[in-house]
Amino acid sequence: MTALQDTVLVLLVLSSFALLGASRLGACIRFVALQGIVTGLLPIAVSGHGPTPRVAVIGATVILIKGFFFPHLLTRAMREAQTRRELQPFVGYVTSLAFGVLALIGSFWLDSRLNLPIHGASDLVVPVALATMIIGLFLIVSRRIAVSQVIGFLVLENGIYAFGVAIVRDVPALIELGILMDVFVAVFVMGIAIYHINREFDHIDTDRLTMLKG
Amino acid sequence: MKTLLLHAFMLFSGLIAAPFLLGVINRTKALFAGRKGAPLFQLYFDMAKLLRKGVTYSRTTTWIFRAAPVIGLSAVMTAMTLMPLARMSAPLSFPGDLVLFAYCLGLMRFVTVLAALDTGSSFEGMGASREVQFSALAEPVLIIAIAALVCAAGSPSLTAIFAAMTRATWQALGPALVLIVAALLVIFLVENARIPVDDPNTHLELTMIHEVMVLDYSGPDLAFILYAASLKLWVLGTLIVNIAISFLDLHGFFTPLAFTAGMLVLAVLVGIIESIMARLSLLKVPRLLMGALVLAVLAFAFIARFTS
């Protein structure tokens, strides 16, 4: 258990929990930016004896895109939609946090039962990545506002990325950057979708889209 | 004989020094607000004054109301005998004493709530309801945090836990121990009715919790309650400071010195928190407590993973 690695992992989980408990969209965007930076630090932290230039470049790209560019896009979407906070999520904040605790316990249990053939860089990476993925999925289904759902998607992606780092440790740079490109396009498309939903209906409450008739 | 004297000294230093911590907290708040502030020994003066006064009991109250301050004070004193100071052994120590410790504090809360309901005042009943609601969320945090400590040290007694915790424990489980300290700090603020949850300065305001439950007390009974509250502050603070100073790995004379400094730092820290934060709205307090629960569970999961 090295201190840097564990601090990074603890921050990763704590930022997901902060997202479960935060109601202001501005705060949510800041937390997801923090999580993006932490995710970028993860490959550098697990690489033990000094990062190779390739790992450093990938880490820096992840930090740049997830820590600064996505938050900027989301802030703009939030400003255009003039939505400051998630008023009535499908699941309340305290219940969400309770679910997060259950997800954490569940992922630790799952990890102890999985018996993965490859051992991760640290004993904690796999359960932390699983918990982050579950929390991300939960955020997508439990929030009403489109911006929060995009944030949930980003959390899910961070979890998958952490899982990949844990299991494979040495992904070719091309694949790594390709995945990053996909996420980038996805967030971009979601930003455009938010803009259009907002322009058509004066709000970004996706729940009310179910009432549309063709 | 030597240990007996040491234990007596430990207990009495706690019993005497506890109200001083509240003085430090209030002085810090006063300095932040640009005031001179009450004397550091104000609570001692208050208690001396109250002990000389007579008592008034409402006609609707029963013996429960009269017994509550005494039971509460003795419960928190029992908790004090279980808590080691500065890595020395506690006066009373046996495997599993931490459960007794947690439930001594629980008993204190229980009698305060009963007494508040006994007055028949709807105002006090409201305070009792809030106290029970928040402590139902706070108690699991305390228990899980202590359970994580048990896992980290590998022994089910408070004395043994703090004797076993050294710099090496911090090096192995540092992030998890930081999480435990953070969770316990939240519990410290909640249990002692400090600012993000309850404002100790407000009276006759609809958002208070602890103060509203003791409104009907007067004279020596009120002195007992104030004293018990300060002892609770002391004993929970001891728990946090004991964990924190184990990082320094000191020996001999320096340990009590570091412990005293730690308690003062904690009091100043609480003063600063109270000065820079507003009280949370009552609806948001459960969110804060769930946050503390998250910290405790995370710490427990990490420690359990590394010690199993």
* ipTM of predicted assembly, 2 dp: 0.81
Residues of B in contact with A123 (CB under 8 A): 305-306
B110-136, pLDDT tens digit by residue? 999 999 999 988 888 888 999 999 999
Distance of residue B224 Cα from the nearest chain A Cα, in angstroms: 36
Q: What is the pLDDT of residue A48?
A: 65
Residue B249, token pair as written in the block: 């790995």
Q: Are A97 and B173 in contact (CB < 8 Å)? A: no
Residue type, B102: A
Asked if residue A1 has pLDDT above 60, the reply is: no
* Helix boundaries (H) for chain B: 2-32, 42-51, 63-82, 97-118, 122-153, 158-164, 167-191, 210-213, 219-245, 254-276, 285-307
Burial B279-289 (b: 16+ CB within 10 A, else e): bbeeebbbbbb
Q: Is B154 on the interface with A (CB under 8 A)?
A: no
Q: In which residue are the tokens 């946050």 written?
A: B291
Q: Check if A184 contacts B (Cβ < 8 Å).
A: no
Give percent of chain A above pLDDT 90.
Answer: 19
pLDDT in tens, A89-138: 888 888 999 999 999 999 989 988 887 766 666 778 888 999 999 999 99
Which residue in B19, B233, B42, B221 sits closest to B115, CA to CA? B221
Here the tokens at position B79 are 């908790």
Q: Which domain holds residue B203?
A: 2-307
Pick the range with the lowest mean pLDDT from A160-164, B147-151, B226-230.
A160-164
Residue A207's pLDDT is: 73
CA distances from B142 to A63, B154, B177, B300 (A): 36, 18, 14, 12
Asked if B200 contacts B21 with a C-beta cutoff of 8 angstroms, the reply is no
CA distance A38 to chain B (A): 15
pLDDT at B80: 92
Hey, are the CB atoms on A6 and B293 less than 8 Å from each other?
Answer: no
Domain count for chain A = 1
- Mean pLDDT rounded to a whole number for chain B: 89
To probe the interface with B, which of A11, A86, A124 has the most B CB atoms within 10 Å?
A124
Rounded to a whole number of angstroms, the CA Rg of chain A reads 17
**How near does any CA of chain A get to the CA of B297, in Å?**
7
Judged against a pLDDT cut of 90, whether residue A37 lies above it is answered with yes
Chain A touched by B134 (CB under 8 Å): no
For B256-275, what is the mean pLDDT? 92
CB contact under 8 A, A97 and B287: yes
The count of CB pairs under 8 A between chains A and B is 56
Length of chain A: 214
- Given an 8 Å threshold on Cβ–Cβ distance, is A97 in contact with B291? yes
- Establish if B286 touches chain A: CB-CB under 8 angstroms: yes
Is B305 in Cβ contact with A104 (below 8 Å)?
no
Residue of higher predicted confidence among B299 and A89? B299
Q: Give the count of domains, chain B.
A: 1
- Contact: A10, B172; criterion CB under 8 Å: no
Q: In which domain, by residue range, is A59 found?
A: 3-211
Structure-token match 């550098």, residue found:
A44
Amino acid at B82: L
Least confident among A181-185, B165-169, B231-235, B293-297: A181-185
Gap between the Cα atoms of B85 and B159, Å rounded = 9
Question: Looking at A148-162, A174-188, B171-185, B231-245, which range is the least confident one?
Answer: A174-188
Lookup: tokens for B32: 């932040």
Higher pLDDT, B10 or B140: B140
Q: Tell me, yes or no, if A113 comes closer than 8 A to chain B by beta carbon.
A: no
Q: Residue B302 above 90 pLDDT? A: no
pLDDT in tens, B90-105: 888 888 899 999 999 9
User: pLDDT tier at B44 (50, 70, 90 boundaries)?
Assistant: very high
Q: Return the percentage of chain B with pLDDT > 70, whole number.
A: 98
Mean pLDDT of chain A: 82
Q: Are A74 and A26 in contact (CB under 8 A)?
A: no
Nearest to B69 by CA among B28, B104, B38, B115: B115
What's residue A213's pLDDT? 67
Nearest alpha-carbon partner for A140 in A13, A15, A20: A20
Q: For residues A159-165, give the mean pLDDT.
A: 85
Query: How confident is the model over A79-89, as a mean pLDDT?
Result: 74
- A145 forms beta bridges with A205
Q: Which residues pair with A85 in a beta bridge?
A: A24
> How large is the angle between the packed helices B2-32 and B254-276, nearest 10 degrees?
30
| Of residues A7, A9, A98, nearest to B290 (C-beta) | A98
Query: How near does any CA of chain B get to the CA of A87, in Å?
Result: 14
Q: CB-based contact (8 Å) between A2 and chain B? A: no
Tokens describing residue A210? 């179910």
Question: Cα distance from B144 to chain A (closest Cα, Å)?
Answer: 12
Which of B141, B302, B307, B308 is most worth mutating to test chain A (most A CB atoms within 10 A of its CB)?
B302
Q: What 3 state SS string does B62-110 have? A: CHHHHHHHHHHHHHHHHHHHHCCCCCCCCCCCCCCHHHHHHHHHHHHHH
Torsion of CA A104, A108, A109, A112, to 10 degrees: 170
Give the DSSP letter string of A63-106: IIIIIIIHHHHHHHHHHHHT--B--S-SS-HHHHHHHHHHHHHH
State the pLDDT confidence band at A43, using cuts at 50, 70 and 90.
confident
What 3-state class would DSSP assign to B260?
helix
